């Protein structure tokens, strides 16, 4: 993990889409406030029966993977941490980015284990509300995302979402950006942790290739530790902070890049690897006749 933008051979970061006219969004209950206990705050829906799909399943994270919103969210988090815990703003921003990928409540429990639970809960509610009004209101997809989703759907991949954000808010954001159409399912904080999401998707889609596309160490390690889920990464570079492709590969990513335009070809290679050709000159034995 690197914290500076110093030289190196990494490719340039993707263009950051500038803020657009604020779009008001409803503030939903911060269901992920219970993620620390890995329990949903609402009764679980009846799980769907396992499904048969044509090719395989590609799971996408939302913040920092589909939406180009990490810069705005990290500024909100920095101010919340400064107000609640006295952490200097820049230090708080880097702490948030270093632990992103898990629900904010779990980040607070890791960063401030000695703080009263009530204080952490109040800070989390404030963060979720401000994330909607100050970050999500301006958030837009990365420029490569709409074309990518259409290409993957054309290639007959089944697409779904796993996010540490609130399930309802993820649905609303994807609908607003015209992207919800491409996804079969959306699992968010009300549906458990990301590791629980991967186990549930593995149950829903058994015996097919499955990939997780994320942008954080937590995403890569969750996929790496899951059963038969291949981690793929979107690298990122913000002011004073970077997660390079090599960082993500170090944590388990089989492939990573700053842009996802090559993802369809990568999936094709991983789902159908070419057979290894023998180089020892030996002939394969002929089948025995019966």
Query: Tokens 């969750």 label which residue?
Result: 222
pLDDT, position 190: 86
Full set of structural domains in the chain with CATH: 54-68+140-271 (3.40.50.1000), 70-136 (1.10.150)
> Quick one: pLDDT band at residue 165, thresholds 50, 70, 90?
confident
Strands (E), the chain: 57-60, 158-162, 186-187, 210-214, 230-234, 236-238, 241-243, 255-257
Q: pLDDT digits over 181-205, tens only?
A: 999 999 998 898 899 999 999 999 9
Segment 227-271, tens digit of pLDDT:
899 999 999 999 888 999 999 999 999 999 999 999 999 999 998
Report the distance separating Cα 240 and Cα 72, nearest Å.
14
**pLDDT band of 34, cuts 50, 70, 90:** very low
Q: Are 34 and 193 in contact (CB under 8 A)?
A: no
Task: Please state the separation of Cα 139 from the chain's center in Å.
Answer: 15
Q: Is pLDDT at 12 greater than 90 in this prediction?
A: no
| Contact (Cβ atoms closer than 8 angstroms) between residue 259 and residue 225 | no
Residue 285: per-residue pLDDT? 55
Separation CA 100–CA 102 (nearest Å): 6
How does the average pLDDT of the chain come out, rounded? 84
């Amino acid at each position: 993990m690197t914290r500076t933008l110093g030289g190196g051979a990494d490719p340039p970061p993707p263009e950051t889409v500038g803020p657009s006219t604020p779009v008001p969004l409803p503030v939903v209950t911060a269901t992920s406030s219970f993620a620390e206990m890995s329990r949903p705050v609402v009764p679980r829906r009846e799980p769907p029966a396992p499904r048969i799909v044509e090719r395989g399943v590609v799971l996408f994270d939302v913040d920092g993977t589909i939406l180009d919103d990490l810069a705005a969210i990290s500024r909100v988090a920095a101010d919340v941490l400064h107000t609640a815990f006295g952490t200097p703003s820049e230090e708080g921003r880097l702490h948030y980015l270093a632990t992103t990928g898990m629900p904010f409540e779990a980040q607070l429990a890791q960063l401030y284990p000695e703080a009263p639970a009530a204080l952490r809960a109040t800070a989390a509610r404030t963060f979720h509300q401000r994330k909607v009004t100050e970050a999500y209101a301006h958030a837009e997809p990365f420029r490569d995302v709409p074309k990518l989703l259409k290409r993957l759907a054309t290639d007959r991949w089944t697409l779904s979402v796993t996010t540490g954000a609130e399930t309802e808010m993820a649905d609303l954001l994807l609908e607003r950006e015209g992207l919800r159409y491409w996804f079969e399912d959306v699992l968010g904080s009300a549906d458990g942790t990301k590791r629980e999401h991967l186990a549930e998707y593995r149950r829903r889609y058994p015996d097919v290739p499955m990939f997780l596309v994320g942008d954080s160490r937590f995403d890569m390690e969750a996929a790496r530790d899951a059963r038969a889920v291949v981690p793929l990464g979107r690298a990122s570079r913000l002011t004073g902070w970077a997660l390079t492709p090599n960082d993500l590969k170090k944590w388990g990513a089989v492939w990573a890049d700053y842009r996802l335009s090559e993802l369809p070809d990568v999936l094709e290679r991983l789902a159908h690897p070419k057979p290894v050709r023998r180089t020892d000159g030996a002939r394969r034995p002929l089948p025995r006749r019966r």
